[in-house]
């Protein structure tokens, strides 16, 4: 009993300290741990923003996701809830919902843009009435607001799904419109009426200034001399023209936002497309930092008597790696540029609030897998495309449907159009299959898929529900009402997303259970955090929400499964 009392007293003593002025979570979308090690240099001199955090805090060297839904929506939601898709329900960016309808993970219903501008009400489209309605359980932002009702709680990102995951239900989310919808041709920071009926005046002023205009004729130039880039000699990959390798002027710095890359212009040659390029190119980092600085100043963030909460997610590394590949010079350069924005933001906050008053957590939602052809060219002969839709060769789904028709007399068991994203295989709900048929077909399809050289394992949902699957990463990723009939795991180096991405002009992909996608950085800094410490034990992104709750003194999010990181508490 005495020993237990001493242990409890020690934990209480660690947690008992003056609250920070601000809790700040920062994510780089698509920024795997290997990027931090590769681009930082021996002394992190090329990443001065991250160096500021590493020197001031604790760096965890073996941190990873705990589920293989390694995409933007589930990656952010898992980090902010401290739970896995099996609990929070966000299994992918897109999935079939409980009503057997294809839906966006942040579709929220009839919510127009703040101010009343109509938003497309189609839950299967990119732009829709977005809200956190599909997140099951509470987030760090929700628990922070409950503990400190007077606190200011905000989430800001280039992507709507990242901001909404960060704000939860109790905060306020802002993200960047890319000019592709009726919301307007300019890239601007917006929200929906789920969060705000009307914009505050400072947001209207920020929008009216059209900060994206300065980039439409600007150049994307290399941050450093090209001879300093690790990736300068890497061959180029053009999976669209069928040529490998390919080097031409399209890939040479400087670039303009009208011709960043031929396939970077997703839709057309209009100004709306240029606004999309502004959002997804380096300028998106700059605009996001400008908005966050305006938010901090105008909302008085970190100036009150209780700790405020702010999360900022930079989405641009993910965009650029998708288009050019994670080991391109463009991907390397975007890391240098987003780090530059991080440094500017930290210095701005230091001047206004002082960094020693701010508890900071840095991480990422997922990494990125090399383009298959790049890996093959490097001699990794196991790298292979998972050609589900037939963009590069015979379609696996067409072959599957033909076999099911021949063996069972069932037409189109797996609709092609339903597999826009993700590693879940959904059966056609309109077929009216019996439960017995579904179970039989799930096992049949799983067995068929594992005969393909590019697929490592496939699990029938009925087997997972019956407790016949022991792989914990799969169990963490499986939601009983939202996951597909069959869950697929590719071989290392293969990626089923890369087949789908071809039709929207993307080369590289993520979404696998392997290290490049799963291992992400984690750095803590701020009051009560030891300085210059490195931790080598295994941790996961779920530990962030649980540790923040202990560190700040809030409740733990509903479904949180992470452990408290004792290393971020001073002895």
Residue 404 sits in the same domain as residue 475: yes
How big is the chain, counted in residues?
A: 571
Residue 463 sits in the same domain as residue 539: no
Q: What is the mean pLDDT of residues 442-450?
A: 95
CA nearest 314: which of 350, 348, 290? 290
> Which of these ranges, 18-27, 172-181, 507-516, has the smallest mean pLDDT?
172-181
Give 466-497 pLDDT, tens digit per residue.
Answer: 999 999 999 999 999 999 999 999 888 776 65
Residue 55 is assigned to a structural domain of this protein = yes
Give 401-427 pLDDT, tens digit per residue.
Answer: 999 999 999 988 887 655 545 578 899
Q: Please report, for residues 90, 394, 488, 489, 512, the alpha-carbon distance to residue 389 in angstroms, rounded to integers and kept in the order given.
A: 24, 8, 15, 17, 18
Say whether pLDDT at 127 is over 50: no
Q: What is the pLDDT at residue 265?
A: 43
> Which of these ranges, 107-116, 185-194, 282-291, has the smallest mean pLDDT?
107-116
Name the phi and psi angles at 172, rounded to 5.
-125, 130
Say whether pLDDT at 243 is over 70: no
- Looking at residue 23, which CATH number applies to its domain? 3.40.720.10
Angle subtended at Cα 494 by Cα 491 and Cα 500, rounded to the nearest 5 degrees:
130
Helix (H/G/I), strand (E/B), else coil: 328: coil
Residues 6+ apart with CB under 8 A from 360: 24, 25, 26, 53, 57, 523, 524, 525, 526
DSSP letters for 335-375? HHHHHHHHHHHHHHHHHHT-GGGEEEEEE-S---BPPHHHH
d(CA 431, CA 388): 21
A 10 A CB-CB count for 175 gives 28
- Which of 504, 532, 549 delimits the end of a domain? 504
Residue 76 sits in the same domain as residue 63: yes
Four-residue CA torsion sign, 486, 487, 493, 496:
positive
CA nearest 262: which of 280, 247, 250? 250
A 10 A CB-CB count for 523 gives 22
Q: What is the pLDDT at residue 1?
A: 39
Residue 99 sits in the same domain as residue 145: yes
Residue 261 sits in the same domain as residue 329: yes
Residue 108 sits in the same domain as residue 213: yes
A 10 A CB-CB count for 360 gives 22
Token reading at 450:
């594992």
d(CA 309, CA 140): 9
Residue 357 sits in the same domain as residue 398: no
Residue 459 sits in the same domain as residue 498: yes
Q: pLDDT tier at 9 (50, 70, 90 boundaries)?
A: very low
Q: What is the mean pLDDT of residues 374-391?
A: 74
Residue 237 is assigned to a structural domain of this protein = no
Residue 259 is assigned to a structural domain of this protein = yes
Return the top range by mean pLDDT from 7-16, 379-388, 460-469. 460-469
Four-residue CA torsion sign, 403, 407, 411, 414:
negative
Token reading at 208:
């009216």
Q: Please give the model's pTM, rounded to 2 decimal places.
A: 0.92
Q: What is the mean pLDDT of residues 544-570?
A: 97
Residue 365 is assigned to a structural domain of this protein = yes
Q: What is the mean pLDDT of residues 16-26?
A: 86
Domain count, the chain: 2
* Residue scoring higher pLDDT (13 or 294): 294
**Residue 150: exposure state from Cβ atoms within 10 A (0-12, 13-18, ≥19):** exposed
Residue 240 is assigned to a structural domain of this protein = no
Return the top range by mean pLDDT from 16-25, 132-141, 268-277. 132-141
Q: What is the pLDDT at residue 502?
A: 57
Token reading at 507:
């080369």
A 10 A CB-CB count for 248 gives 10
A 10 A CB-CB count for 392 gives 15
Give, to the nearest 10 degrees, the angle between helix 72-81 and helix 542-552: 30
Phi-psi region of 217 (alpha: psi -120 to 50; beta: other; left: phi over 0): alpha
> Which of these ranges, 380-394, 428-442, 493-507, 519-533, has the smallest mean pLDDT?
493-507
Residue 317 sits in the same domain as residue 254: yes
Say whether pLDDT at 182 is over 50: no
**Residue 247: exposure state from Cβ atoms within 10 A (0-12, 13-18, ≥19):** exposed
Say whether pLDDT at 103 is over 70: yes
Peptide bond before 537: cis, by omega within 30 degrees of 0? no
Percent of the chain scoring above 70 in pLDDT: 81
Helix (H/G/I), strand (E/B), else coil: 61: strand
Asked if 75 and 167 count as a contact pair (C-beta separation under 8 A), the reply is: no
d(CA 146, CA 308): 12
Give, to the nearest 10 degrees, the angle between helix 396-408 and helix 435-449: 130
Q: What is the mean pLDDT of residues 10-26?
A: 73
Say whether pLDDT at 183 is over 80: no
Asked if 57 and 342 count as a contact pair (C-beta separation under 8 A), the reply is: no
Q: pLDDT tier at 104 (50, 70, 90 boundaries)?
A: confident
Which contacts of 37-41 are long-range, i.e. CB under 8 A and separated by 24 or more positions?
Answer: 38/230, 39/230, 39/332, 39/335, 39/336
- Which of 465, 480, 504 delimits the end of a domain? 504
Say whether pLDDT at 56 is over 50: yes
Residue 275 sits in the same domain as residue 322: yes
Say whether pLDDT at 336 is over 90: yes
Q: What is the pLDDT at residue 270?
A: 41
- Looking at residue 410, which CATH number applies to its domain? 3.30.1360.150
Q: What is the pLDDT at residue 38?
A: 93
Q: What is the pLDDT at residue 102?
A: 75
Say whether pLDDT at 357 is over 50: yes
Q: What is the pLDDT at residue 120?
A: 52
- Which of 476, 504, 532 delimits the end of a domain? 504
Residue 71 sits in the same domain as residue 86: yes
Percent of the chain scoring above 90 in pLDDT: 56
Q: Are strands 172-177 and 188-190 parallel, antiparallel or unpaired?
A: antiparallel
Domain encompassing residue 483: 376-504
Q: What is the pLDDT at residue 390?
A: 64
Residue 559 sits in the same domain as residue 422: no
Q: pLDDT tier at 501 (50, 70, 90 boundaries)?
A: low
Q: What is the pLDDT at residue 291?
A: 97
Residue 515 is assigned to a structural domain of this protein = no
Q: What is the pLDDT at residue 415?
A: 79
Q: What is the mean pLDDT of residues 234-241?
A: 63
Q: What is the mean pLDDT of residues 68-84?
A: 94
Q: Are strands 57-64 and 424-425 parallel, antiparallel or unpaired?
A: unpaired
Q: Please report, for residues 94, 160, 170, 475, 482, the alpha-carbon distance to residue 104 in angstroms, rounded to integers and kept in the order given.
A: 5, 11, 21, 22, 12
Four-residue CA torsion sign, 370, 372, 377, 382:
positive
A 10 A CB-CB count for 44 gives 18
Residue 235 is assigned to a structural domain of this protein = no
Residue 232 is assigned to a structural domain of this protein = no
d(CA 358, CA 215): 32
> Which of these ranges, 36-50, 75-89, 122-136, 445-459, has the smallest mean pLDDT?
122-136
């Amino acid at each position: 009993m005495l020993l237990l009392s001493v242990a409890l007293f020690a934990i209480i003593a660690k947690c008992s300290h003056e609250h920070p002025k601000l809790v700040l979570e920062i994510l780089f979308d698509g920024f795997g741990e290997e990027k931090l090690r590769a681009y930082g240099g021996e002394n992190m001199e090329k990443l001065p923003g991250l160096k500021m955090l590493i020197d001031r805090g604790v760096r965890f060297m073996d941190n990873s996701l705990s589920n293989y839904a390694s995409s933007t929506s589930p990656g952010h939601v898992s980090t902010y809830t401290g739970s896995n898709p099996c609990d929070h329900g966000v299994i992918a960016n897109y999935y079939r919902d409980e009503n057997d309808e294809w839906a966006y993970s942040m579709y929220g219903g009839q919510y127009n843009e703040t101010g009343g501008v109509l938003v497309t009400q189609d839950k299967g489209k990119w732009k829709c009435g977005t809200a956190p309605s599909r997140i099951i359980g509470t987030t760090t932002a929700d628990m922070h607001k409950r503990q400190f009702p007077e606190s200011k709680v905000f989430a800001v990102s280039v992507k709507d799904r990242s901001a909404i995951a960060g704000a939860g239900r109790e905060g306020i989310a802002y993200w960047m419109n890319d000019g592709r919808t009726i919301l307007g041709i300019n890239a601007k920071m917006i929200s929906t009426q789920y969060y705000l009926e009307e914009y505050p005046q400072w947001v209207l002023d920020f929008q009216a200034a059209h900060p994206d205009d300065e980039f439409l004729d600007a150049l994307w130039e290399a941050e450093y001399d090209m001879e300093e880039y690790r990736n300068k000699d890497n061959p180029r990959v053009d999976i669209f023209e069928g040529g490998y390798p390919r080097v031409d002027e399209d890939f040479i710095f400087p670039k303009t936002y009208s011709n960043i890359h031929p396939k970077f212009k997703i839709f057309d040659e209009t100004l709306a497309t240029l606004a999309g390029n502004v959002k997804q190119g380096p300028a998106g980092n700059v605009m996001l930092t400008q908005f966050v600085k305006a938010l901090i100043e105008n909302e008085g963030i970190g100036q009150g008597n209780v700790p405020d909460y702010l999360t900022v997610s930079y989405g641009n590394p993910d965009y650029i790696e998708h288009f050019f590949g994670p080991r391109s010079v463009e991907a390397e350069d975007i890391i240098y540029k987003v780090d530059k924005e991080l440094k500017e933001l930290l210095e701005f906050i230091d001047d206004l609030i002082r960094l020693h008053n701010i508890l900071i957590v840095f991480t990422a939602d997922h990494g990125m897998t090399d383009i298959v052809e790049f890996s093959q060219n490097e001699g990794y002969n196991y790298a292979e495309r998972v050609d589900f839709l037939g963009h590069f060769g015979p379609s696996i789904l067409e072959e599957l449907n033909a076999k099911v028709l021949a063996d069972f007399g069932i037409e189109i068991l797996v609709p092609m159009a339903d597999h826009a994203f993700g590693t879940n295989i959904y059966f056609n709900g309109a077929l009216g299959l019996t439960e017995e048929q579904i179970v039989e077909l799930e096992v049949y399809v799983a067995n068929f898929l594992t005969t393909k050289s590019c697929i490592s394992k496939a699990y029938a949902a009925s087997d997972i529900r019956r407790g016949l699957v022991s792989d914990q990463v799969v169990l963490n990723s499986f939601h009983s009402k939202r996951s597909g009939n069959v869950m697929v795991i590719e071989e290392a180096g293969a990626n089923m997303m890369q087949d789908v991405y071809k039709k929207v002009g993307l080369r590289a992909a993520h979404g696998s259970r392997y290290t490049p996608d799963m291992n992400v950085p984690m750095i803590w800094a701020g009051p009560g955090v030891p300085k210059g410490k490195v931790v080598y034990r295994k941790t996961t992104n779920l530990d962030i929400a649980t540790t923040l709750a202990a560190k700040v003194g809030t409740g733990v999010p509903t479904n949180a499964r992470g452990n408290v990181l004792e290393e971020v508490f001073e002895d």
